[in-house]
């Protein structure tokens, strides 16, 4: 059931019986219009309509005594001609005078704060700040982040400066090697946030207050100046209010004036957008200056402590108790394509508390990390740490595998088993190479290819009189660890941004009406969908009934009797 607030028309006209307009300051009308029939009339928008409205009135006593039943009263809307407007009505030609507090003389601090707010809320300044943030972010993607100083010495030397002036000195002095936590980037973000808050305080919030205020127009000229205007002869603004209420408008009446609006949420959307942007920037700042990051490569079967790997990224980084957590690598294994190429690699991890008790276990892979108490562990890389062999049925022996440099992005690992006197200056032995955990390629002491063996195949191979059995290839898991306290804020900000962006498409529509004698002058405007608003108003005005004098006389006679 929809509601709107009526303030009764104050009139001394004898044709308005007191029962027609109860003299209460404001009452909420919960109305259900009884079915009625329309009669054709010569007016373009007119329908003959004697009808009644059943409504519930809320008086001040009802509000004070909660729990009492609301008073039910039958109100007959008058069909008499409303009193004509006097010359004094609408002399101001605009909205009703609203008391304004007198200006107070402030000190220098107050004037300075107003000046600062005016500068910060400047739209060109805010646009420039957004371009500056975008430019710094683009520069941060071009410059490698988090590298050692030697890297920048070599890539941006002074003898070959980029663009004739840009060298490693600029990068290290301005903090561009850690762009997103550098003072320049955070300063521009803070300035943009201040501009958003200043714009919200000086522009958006006053606009919302104005939109919520009942602004009655007292002159026909002011109403006709609206984007949409129409005059309905022999029509009542009370009928206009009833029709607008049925269309979802909040309707207010005061004397011969009517004001209605809907879609106030559209006015709130810009404030929501600003808040969403502030959340995103706050979350991004917290992520850049308050996170911990680290990388580690752990062989299968070994442990590591989280706090030994993670390092702070900025001045807001503070360790937690979770940094004492110990991680055990239970197993590392890989999946392969039919061609033999590596398709995916997995690590089975166990999280141990201070007493060595397992509190969580999960097998992670690329794009499927482990999250525990604010710490996220990603699977990012792999290697082969050792090769386990049997030599002449003795062992097993673990031979450390070392990465070898080759062209392209292929991986290759190798190890060496000395044969004979290891203290000799000319040591010879058996070489073993592996590109993954599936197969091991063996070479004799002369460097000639001997054969290929799979780990766990238990198939021996004889090389220069030495029998070798490949027992296992032990892999190492490459892990990236990260804490990011700003993620919840960023997610909340983007969620709010999507929601408020959709809400901002809602139109805020306002309608004014004025009773000028027997004519209802109606005007309105909207901030969006202006063509649809005109079509909607035309449809609503077609539903407004026409006041018939003969019907009025019968009703007045029955009430007088």
pLDDT tens digits, one per residue of 485-514: 999 999 999 999 999 988 888 888 999 999
Whether residues 177 and 198 share a domain: the answer is: yes
375 and 406 together in one domain: no
Q: Do 128 and 187 fall within a single domain?
A: yes
Distance of alpha carbon 266 from the chain centroid? 17
Residues 411 and 301 in one domain: no
Task: Tell me, yes or no, whether 297 and 343 share the same domain.
Answer: yes
Residue 168 lies in a domain: yes
Q: Do 140 and 203 fall into the same domain?
A: yes
pLDDT at 270: 86
Instruction: Evaluate whether residue 318 is within a structural domain.
Output: yes
Query: Is residue 69 in some structural domain?
Result: no
**Structural domains counted in the chain:** 3
Q: What 3-state class would DSSP assign to 489?
A: helix
Task: Name the pairing type of β-strands 71-76 and 228-233.
Answer: unpaired
Q: State whether 411 and 374 are in the same domain.
A: no
Looking at 483, 508, 539, the residue that finishes a domain is 483
User: What is the pLDDT at residue 265?
Assistant: 82
pLDDT of residue 159: 87
Return all residues near 418 (Cβ < 8 A) that are at least 6 apart.
427, 428, 429
Does residue 175 fall inside a structural domain?
yes
pLDDT at 213: 64
Mean pLDDT in runs of 10 for the chain (561 residues)?
40 35 35 36 40 39 40 34 39 42 60 87 91 93 89 90 89 90 91 92 79 78 93 90 92 90 84 92 90 94 93 88 93 89 92 90 95 94 93 90 82 89 79 92 91 90 90 94 93 93 87 91 90 92 78 41 47
Q: Are residues 419 and 331 both part of a single domain?
A: no
Residues 6+ apart with CB under 8 A from 325: 305, 306, 351, 352, 353, 372, 373, 375
262 within some domain: no
- Asked if residue 195 and residue 99 are part of one domain, the reply reads yes
| pLDDT score of 214 | 65
Domain's final residue, options 160, 178, 207: 207
Q: How many CB atoms lie within 10 A of CB 214?
A: 17
**292-327: pLDDT as tens digits:** 999 999 999 999 999 999 999 888 899 988 999 999
Residue 260 lies in a domain: no
Q: pLDDT at position 212, please?
A: 62
* pLDDT given at position 162: 86
Whether 322 and 363 map to the same domain: the answer is yes
Asked whether residue 370 falls in the same domain as residue 424, the answer is no
In tens, the pLDDT along 135-163 reads 999 999 999 988 889 999 999 998 888 88
Average pLDDT taken over every residue of the chain: 79
379 shares its domain with 400: no
Residue 228 domain-assigned (yes or no) = no
Domain span holding position 416: 396-468
Where does a domain end: 483, 510, 529?
A: 483
In a domain, 82, yes or no: no
pTM flag (> 0.75): no
């Amino acid at each position: 059931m929809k509601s709107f607030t009526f303030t009764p028309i104050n009139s001394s006209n004898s044709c308005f019986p007191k029962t027609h307009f109860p003299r209460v300051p404001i009452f909420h009308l919960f109305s259900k219009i009884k079915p009625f029939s329309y009669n054709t009339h010569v007016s373009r928008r007119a329908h003959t309509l004697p009808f009644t409205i059943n409504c519930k009135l809320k008086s001040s006593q009802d509000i004070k005594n909660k729990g009492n039943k609301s008073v039910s009263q039958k109100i007959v809307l008058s069909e008499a001609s409303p009193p004509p407007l006097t010359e004094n009505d609408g002399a101001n030609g605009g909205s009703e005078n609203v008391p304004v507090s007198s200006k107070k003389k402030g000190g220098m601090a107050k004037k300075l704060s107003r000046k600062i707010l005016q500068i910060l809320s400047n739209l060109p300044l805010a646009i420039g700040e957004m371009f500056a943030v975008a430019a710094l972010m683009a520069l941060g993607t071009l410059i490698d982040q988090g590298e050692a100083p030697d890297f920048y010495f070599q890539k941006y030397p002074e003898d070959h400066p980029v663009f004739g002036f840009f060298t490693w000195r600029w990068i290290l002095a301005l903090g561009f090697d850690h762009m997103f936590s550098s003072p320049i980037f955070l300063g521009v973000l803070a300035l943009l946030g201040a501009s958003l808050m200043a714009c919200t305080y000086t522009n958006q919030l006053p606009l919302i207050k104005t939109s919520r205020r009942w602004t009655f127009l007292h002159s026909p000229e002011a109403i006709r100046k609206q984007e949409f205007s129409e005059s309905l002869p022999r029509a009542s603004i009370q009928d206009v209010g009833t029709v607008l209420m049925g269309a979802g408008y909040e309707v207010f009446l005061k004397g011969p004036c009517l004001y209605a609006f809907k879609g106030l949420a559209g006015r709130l959307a810009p404030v929501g957008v600003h808040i969403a942007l502030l959340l995103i920037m706050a979350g991004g700042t917290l992520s850049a200056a308050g996170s911990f990051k680290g990388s580690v490569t752990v062989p299968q079967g070994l442990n590591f402590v989280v706090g030994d790997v993670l390092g702070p990224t900025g001045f807001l980084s503070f360790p937690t108790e979770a940094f004492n957590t110990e991680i055990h690598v239970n197993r590392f294994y890989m999946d392969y394509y039919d061609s033999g190429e590596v398709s995916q690699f997995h690590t089975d991890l166990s999280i141990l508390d201070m007493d060595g008790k397992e509190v969580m276990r999960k097998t992670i892979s690329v794009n499927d990390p482990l999250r525990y108490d604010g710490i996220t562990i990603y699977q990012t890389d792999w290697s082969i740490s050792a090769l386990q062999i049997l030599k002449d049925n003795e062992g097993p022996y673990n031979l450390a595998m070392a990465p070898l440099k080759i062209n392209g992005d292929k991986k290759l690992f190798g190890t060496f088993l000395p044969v004979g006197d290891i203290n000799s200056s000319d040591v010879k032995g058996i070489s073993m190479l592996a590109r993954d955990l599936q197969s091991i390629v063996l070479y004799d002491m002369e460097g000639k290819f001997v054969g290929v063996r799979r780990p766990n195949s238990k198939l021996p191979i004889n090389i220069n009189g030495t029998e070798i059995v490949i027992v296992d290839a032990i892999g190492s898991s490459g892990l990236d660890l990260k804490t990011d306290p700003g993620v919840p804020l960023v997610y909340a900000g983007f969620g709010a941004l999507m929601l408020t962006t959709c809400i901002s498409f809602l139109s805020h529509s306002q309608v004014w009406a004025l009773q000028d004698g027997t004519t209802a002058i109606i005007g309105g405007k909207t901030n969006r969908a202006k063509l649809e608003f005109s079509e909607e108003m035309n449809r609503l005005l077609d539903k407004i009934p026409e006041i018939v004098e003969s019907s009025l006389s019968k009703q007045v006679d029955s009430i007088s009797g």
